[in-house]
Structure 1
């Protein structure tokens, strides 16, 4: 009998079946049919990981559709497993069921890690965006169903902190610092924006646990770049609106039965306070310093138990402004200190000394000049400030006018006029004629209470009357008239610029006839750069 030849294993082995949407549906139906098909979960997760690797190198519409379908299928699988209590530990389980439960738990955790890993895919197209958004919604859905079904008793309050922390750990490190907007340090990060609008702003319990979990995240070892990325994402989340209405807080919950502690506003304020203090003590970028200072008085201070803890941060920010030559940092830090002094009786005797130091020649040339004068008008609004200090500010501002552009001087004149109306004892600066020839004002003295400004005169304001720009000169003449007019509205002068001054002159109507050249010329200059026939 002739020997029977055996076929090689390579010839008889079947090629692995290619994954299709129909195959995914078949595996899903088998899982729902009987626990004996639970191994299909591992197959789907492995296929999902393979698809994600392909997704990270190249994407097409078919791959995108299949990947999203596998992801949504696994979400439905684990949704069913959780709601049917197959992941919940019970006291009457036998050893085999316990083994299955632990296996299912490990696969569930593995799948959640796959979902957050998709946020690291660095490809910009609509398919990638849709996948990442789907996975954010899926993870937040798991937070909700876990909070309902993972409690020890059916009626016991519970919130799924573990999954929520996993979401935040990976969500807050998405985006790119190169996308950070310089003016407010927020990041144009679609995942963070979606989380903010769909979850954070709508549900109180998610806001409450956001800050408690963020504290534990910040306590882990993070490199400076990651810390700065987290800071910008947090600023993006909390900047647009207050955390809650201070007068009538509406506490809409995301989970059905959250822990009672979420209603404890004092506990929330304490947690929020610890979280913000940790954030501002990180190694921040100057833009992030500025962003915190911008939102401090409306988004942070009202929700602190003890806002005076911010004093060190504000003082450091003031000094940083001079160190990095960005006076806006110093201005904004003084705004925060002012809020603490006004609302919480913070004693800060050097406030006006630090404010006086900001009045440098560069100030009236800067783009944020108008913001500074708005704040300065608030800081100097009290009638209880000593006349010596007010006189020093008037003298220093007048001195700045000698080298300032017309648009800057237009801000100073009405401000000084209002100061003189508010503090009549300073009228000596413009009305007293019995003065020594030498100016007694000490421009080098840093303390505004010791400059001898009241022994001087505001001769700088008289010099401005003769300014080359007619609008500036006519405005400054207000100091030569009786002080019986109402105080100026500063908002009418803060946004003036060169273009606005020029437009004002161009649109001015002249009375009578204008003086013109006797002879008419075809051009302003000749070929050689001047008019030969003109008598110079």
Structure 2
């Protein structure tokens, strides 16, 4: 019975392949017939009908056939150029010659094909979506060389921006996650003119959609917009603008798509237009992760992002940590003045800081911010004391970051050594004057306290932590500790390191080494015991 079923399945598969092959041959023959003679023009309806089929292979075959047919017609100037009226009105008109009527007829079929392919960008099957996308981009490339509309040549040259706008509108779906299709579209974003008009289309689409929805949070739509925008990067030099889908001529040197400043201006407008609307917290994190190296360097005025960064910094938690990267770039590279920055940084030091995903990035940036020797002593002492207090409940992996971090602060600011040497407090049970709940580092009384918490960690259960805490008993060397080596340390890696055998020679435990069970050591066990 199983063999009969298997034979039926094989037979069915062969039949399907034969049908697909036959359909492909039929479509190709119809395309060849249409291109050979205008009397076969009506066969185009069969191709368009196949394009609306429910079978994936048939739709893909029809898309390839349409690509070959209409690209050939476009290149051969067999499609009507100019503004079309209604097809019924044109059919009733006797003004056109037969050749002109053929071009009008095929132009309408081309429009129907494009509309169907645009609909297929929302198809359930990815194979159909990908095939439709590639076919539409082929049409765009050929339309660029053989435009069908009278465009504003001085501003847009002959680029088919309406077709690109339609494609972008479908990619930015409000209901369907198009991340996979957008990743396929990334290939076309490498072309400078395509990238320019995609950015322009995103600006228009976001403004229209978000206005219609009154700026409400739309997770799927905003995710699609972010996915598409995050795949866009602007060249660093104008000489790199060389890859164009529509080849420009010297006389079109005023075309905006060939100017780097225009790319940066549009890139900036695109991101600012997207980020001015309310985003879910997950989107804040995605944007902030790439902001410092993928967005700010490509903007003509990076300081315009200050409003977004300050609002993100005020949210708290992991989002505030991630906002530090962007603020760091603006403060150090663009001379941004940010009031109460260190006060807000101080208040980010909470127990959760040791358990978030972006812990390493936070301590790296905090180390940079606190590296200046011009910071007031009270501020550095407040950071050192707060970290020491948090260390009492921190996991070992975090302690191996915090302790060197505190030591580096003391090395940079010798005045903070008063936190270590408190002769009057030794041997006495005194109340710690440090105010953990005080938000202002100038009022927390850190300088009046001591780092007794580190003394407590000298009895920590983990030997590496206890060893690091013992360093405070001796004069700290001038050379700062490199914390970059431990920033990414995980609990798993720490356990693996502890479980590794020591790099020492084997220690002899007996006079004679045992070679097998119950043998060795003079064979005393073998004489008195057996396994029977």
TM range (shorter): 0.7 to 0.9
CA–CA separation in structure 2 for the residues paired with 1:388 and 1:489: 24
Aligned twin of 1:115: 117
**Of 187, 196, 207, the match for 1:208:** 196
What's the TM-score once normalised by structure 2's chain length? 0.78
Aligned twin of 1:13: none
Alignment of 1:370-381 (within 5 A): 370-381=360-371
Determine whether 1:390 maps to 2:393. no
**Of 256, 265, 279, the match for 2:260:** 265
Aligned twin of 1:311: 306
Structure 1 position 440, deviation (Å) = 2.6
CA–CA separation in structure 2 for the residues paired with 1:274 and 1:118: 30
CA–CA separation in structure 1 for the residues paired with 2:438 and 2:327: 23
Alignment of 1:17-36 (within 5 A): 20-36=23-39
Aligned twin of 1:368: 358
CA–CA separation in structure 2 for the residues paired with 1:168 and 1:401: 50
CA–CA separation in structure 2 for the residues paired with 1:511 and 1:78: 77
Relative to 1, partners in 2 of residues 1:471 and 1:206: Cα closer, same or farther, differing over 3 Å?
same
**Of 324, 334, 348, the match for 1:344:** 334
Does the 8 A contact of 2:74 with 2:146 survive in 1? yes
Aligned twin of 1:161: 161
Does the 8 A contact of 1:227 with 1:282 survive in 2? no
- 1:248-293 per-residue CA deviation (whole Å, 9 max, x = no partner) reads 6343112212862112222221211111112223342322110100
Determine whether 1:489 maps to 2:482. yes
CA–CA separation in structure 2 for the residues paired with 1:257 and 1:247: 15
Relative to 1, partners in 2 of residues 1:249 and 1:20: Cα closer, same or farther, differing over 3 Å?
closer
Tell me the matched-pair count.
Answer: 462
Determine whether 1:48 maps to 2:46. no
- 1:461-514 per-residue CA deviation (whole Å, 9 max, x = no partner) reads 222223233221111111121122411110222233444444444434799999
Determine whether 1:251 maps to 2:242. yes
Determine whether 1:229 maps to 2:220. yes
Does the 8 A contact of 1:242 with 1:298 survive in 2? no
Alignment of 1:77-476 (within 5 A): 77-85=69-77, 86-89=79-82, 95-96=95-96, 101-123=103-125, 129=127, 131-150=128-147, 157-173=157-173, 176-177=176-177, 189=180, 191-196=181-186, 198-200=187-189, 202-221=190-209, 227-239=218-230, 242-245=233-236, 249-257=240-248, 260-320=255-315, 322=316, 327-434=317-424, 437-476=430-469
Relative to 1, partners in 2 of residues 1:438 and 1:273: Cα closer, same or farther, differing over 3 Å?
same
Structure 1 position 105, deviation (Å) = 3.0
CA–CA separation in structure 2 for the residues paired with 1:411 and 1:171: 44
Does the 8 A contact of 2:312 with 2:323 survive in 1? yes
Relative to 1, partners in 2 of residues 1:392 and 1:264: Cα closer, same or farther, differing over 3 Å?
same
Single out whichever of 234-243 and 263-272 deviates more from structure 2: 234-243
Structure 1 position 212, deviation (Å) = 0.6
Partner SS, residue 219 of structure 1? helix
Relative to 1, partners in 2 of residues 1:207 and 1:462: Cα closer, same or farther, differing over 3 Å?
same
Gaps of 5+ in 2: 1-21, 84-92, 509-532
Instruction: Considering fraction of residues, name the structure with more helix.
Output: 2
Partner SS, residue 399 of structure 1? helix
Structure 1 position 394, deviation (Å) = 0.4
Does the 8 A contact of 2:322 with 2:358 survive in 1? no
Does the 8 A contact of 2:321 with 2:358 survive in 1? no
Aligned twin of 2:17: none
CA–CA separation in structure 1 for the residues paired with 2:165 and 2:47: 25
Relative to 1, partners in 2 of residues 1:149 and 1:412: Cα closer, same or farther, differing over 3 Å?
same
Does the 8 A contact of 2:217 with 2:279 survive in 1? no
Relative to 1, partners in 2 of residues 1:114 and 1:344: Cα closer, same or farther, differing over 3 Å?
same
Structure 1 position 360, deviation (Å) = 0.9
Does the 8 A contact of 1:319 with 1:330 survive in 2? yes
CA–CA separation in structure 2 for the residues paired with 1:94 and 1:146: 28
- 1:152-186 per-residue CA deviation (whole Å, 9 max, x = no partner) reads 59x98321101111111112329955xxxxxxxxx
Structure 1 position 434, deviation (Å) = 4.7
CA–CA separation in structure 2 for the residues paired with 1:361 and 1:89: 67
Does the 8 A contact of 2:434 with 2:448 survive in 1? yes
- 1:86-144 per-residue CA deviation (whole Å, 9 max, x = no partner) reads 32239xx9932566554433321211111122232224xxxx52x43232221111111
Structure 1 position 206, deviation (Å) = 1.4
C-alpha RMSD of matched pairs (Å): 3.3
Does the 8 A contact of 2:433 with 2:448 survive in 1? yes
Partner SS, residue 355 of structure 1? helix
Structure 1 position 36, deviation (Å) = 4.6
Structure 1 position 302, deviation (Å) = 1.1
Single out whichever of 289-298 and 442-451 deviates more from structure 2: 442-451
CA–CA separation in structure 1 for the residues paired with 2:196 and 2:466: 58
Does the 8 A contact of 1:334 with 1:351 survive in 2? no
Partner SS, residue 220 of structure 1? helix
Does the 8 A contact of 1:81 with 1:87 survive in 2? no
Relative to 1, partners in 2 of residues 1:510 and 1:469: Cα closer, same or farther, differing over 3 Å?
farther
Structure 1 position 441, deviation (Å) = 1.9
